[in-house]
Structure 1
Amino acid sequence: MTLEGTFDPVESSAEPLVVHRSGTGPPVVLVHGGMPAPMTWAAQQELTADWSLIVPNRRGFPPSPTAPWQDFLADTDDLADLLEQIPGGAHLAGFSYGGLGAVLVAERLPHLIRSLTVIEAPLWIAAEDDDAVRELAELSDRFAASVDDAEAEAEFFAVAGVDPKMFAELDEDVRQALELGRKLRSPREAKPRFETITEAGVPVLVASGEHSPALERVCDGVAERLAARRVHLPGAGHAVQHAPGFNTIFDEFLTSAEQQRRSTT
């Protein structure tokens, strides 16, 4: 069920998100996509020696408050509330659908964003004239629109790196996440003002996994618009943050951004 302009995100923000915190050092907010936060960011726990990881469970994903669907506008409001509680702001990383809210809150509150990392976020607008991107955007909407479209489901899961054979062994949180994956505000509605982020001088890293030509083109477009460092990390499909070498690059990027911030304050 792809939603277009039918949901007021303010209504979903009455209760705060449940947030997991670990580690020491400068704060890094990690925003998950369609899978639960612990699964999404498991590989980043090794960074806790140098960084304070702040991992919110997006609205609708247990143990955060329930929601009838995913909505990147609600995510943006939730992230704004979270960032405003962190003295000096934080480094921010958003994966997949969670990257939409991350980019939008960076536009809204650039002064609180120490750096921004975008991992295969479906920001179709960044390459909307590309045929492959248009096809992927249409596939995403088809998948969300109907549980009976087996072809769209198979194609979408292939791009997302999901093996349907795994479903029988999944825990309840993952089952709920898969159900929520069909109920969302369409990424077509995400139209951030990229120039607001670049004009604020926010350091940006854009990462992709070289598994989907369409997503590569989207990431290229996002990187160009945000004057970002662009990295390609194959080996984990869509879950680029699990790919070999990601943590090394991520840690180096965060360190550089933190040093840049200190030199200008």
Structure 2
Amino acid sequence: MDDVVVVRAGSGPEVLLVHGGAGPRTTWGALSALADRWTLAQVHRRGYPPSPAPQAGQDYEVDARDLAPLLAGRPHLVAHSYGVLAALLAAAAAPGSVRSLTLIEPPLTYLVPGDGDVARLEHLGDTVLTHGMDTDPADLREFLHLAGASVDDGPLPHQVVAGVRRAHGARLPSQGRPRLGLIRRARIPVLIASGGHAAAHERICDALATTLGGERTVHMGAGHYVAAAPGFTDRLATFLRTSENNNP
């Protein structure tokens, strides 16, 4: 089968969860309590079993096409990191099919031109996705730290190496230009979240919240994996409930 796999748990309105470079369990495990009120639908992007492998590397444009039929039931859409690009592309293509958007630390570096920290993040991301494990070791570790990987001065853990190899050759986030104006004009409720661990991520999220007219929240304690940070689950639950009431 060529379709991506979606694993659902819980009951109630659907919350479609789109992970980034890490898999669904790592990214969304802390949200399990929401299944008492919502149907949590975890998308496994191509390359993340049990979904099939991509034909030519990770690609947010392919991911967006995979998401399109999953929006038929008008879910709340929650996306993290690289997965935000696909979520925004899919939402812009069919704004009426998304009940709300929660966007966590996206790599939309073009929103903050001329900022040194943001330019450094873009450079590191493009370099690692282009060169994989052949990236300069210092640059690779700096990027992995910003991307939430648990690394120290020793050999890189097996799962981290596997993640770098999976990302190698991906479509570069710096090339993505989602049609944000369409999303804002559709008045989709938007929540932008970050983890307070890196200036570049904070400035990108600030700019995205301004561009989309969205709510802004910061939850420290889990680095790039903001969904696991203290207080985030409650904040998301409040946002989802408000979106249900105001955007039925």
Q: What TM-score comes out, normalization by structure 1 length?
A: 0.87
Counterpart of 2:164 in structure 1 is 178
What whole-Å deviation, never above 9, does each CA across 1:170-213 have from its counterpart, x for those lacking one?
Answer: 4xxx7643321223100111111211111111000000011110
* Residue of structure 2 in register with 1:155 after alignment: 142
- How do 1:30-49 and structure 2 match up within 5 A? 30-49=17-36
SS at match of 2:223: coil
Deviations 1:83-115 (A, max 9, x none): 12x2xx110011000011111111111101100
**Are 1:21 and 2:44 counterparts?**
no
Percent identity, aligned pairs only, is: 40
The answer on whether the counterparts of 1:61 and 1:177 sit within 8 Å (CA) in structure 2 is no
Please report the RMSD computed on the Cα atoms of aligned residues, expressed in angstroms. Answer: 1.6
Unaligned runs of 5+ residues in structure 2 are none
Give the alignment of 1:24-173 within 5 angstroms. Answer: 24-67=11-54, 68-84=56-72, 86=73, 89-146=74-131, 147-148=133-134, 149-164=136-151, 168=157, 170=159
Give the gaps of 5 or more residues in structure 1: 1-13
Opposite residue 170 of structure 2, the aligned amino acid is L
For 1:243, the aligned partner's letter is: A
Tell me what 1:217 maps to: 203
In 1, the alpha carbon distance for the partners of 2:7 and 2:141 equals 33
Q: Secondary structure at the match of 2:99?
A: strand
Amino acid at match of 2:63: D
User: Which amino acid is 1:43 matched to?
Assistant: A
CA–CA distance in 1 between the matches of 2:76 and 2:21? 21
Q: CA deviation at 1:161?
A: 2.2
Q: Residue 53 of structure 1 aligns to a residue in which SS?
A: strand
Give the CA deviation at 1:134: 1.2
Say yes or no: does 1:248 pair with 2:242.
Answer: no
Structure-1 separation of matches of 2:123 and 2:158 = 30
CA distance in structure 2 between the aligned counterparts of 1:175 and 1:25, rounded to whole angstroms: 38
1:131 Cα shift?
A: 2.2
Count of matched residue pairs: 243
Give the conservation status (yes or no) of the 8 Å contact 2:128–2:164: no
- Evaluate the alpha carbon distance shift between residue 137 and residue 203 of structure 1 in structure 2; reply closer, same or farther with a 3 A threshold: same
Q: Indicate conservation of the 8 Å contact 2:145/2:151, yes or no.
A: no
SS in structure 2 of the partner of residue 184 of structure 1: coil
8 A contact 1:27–1:51 mirrored in 2: yes
Q: State the AA in 2 paired with 1:77.
A: R
Is the Cα–Cα contact under 8 Å of residues 35 and 178 in structure 1 kept in the other structure? no
- Cα separation, 1, equivalents of 2:166 and 2:150: 17
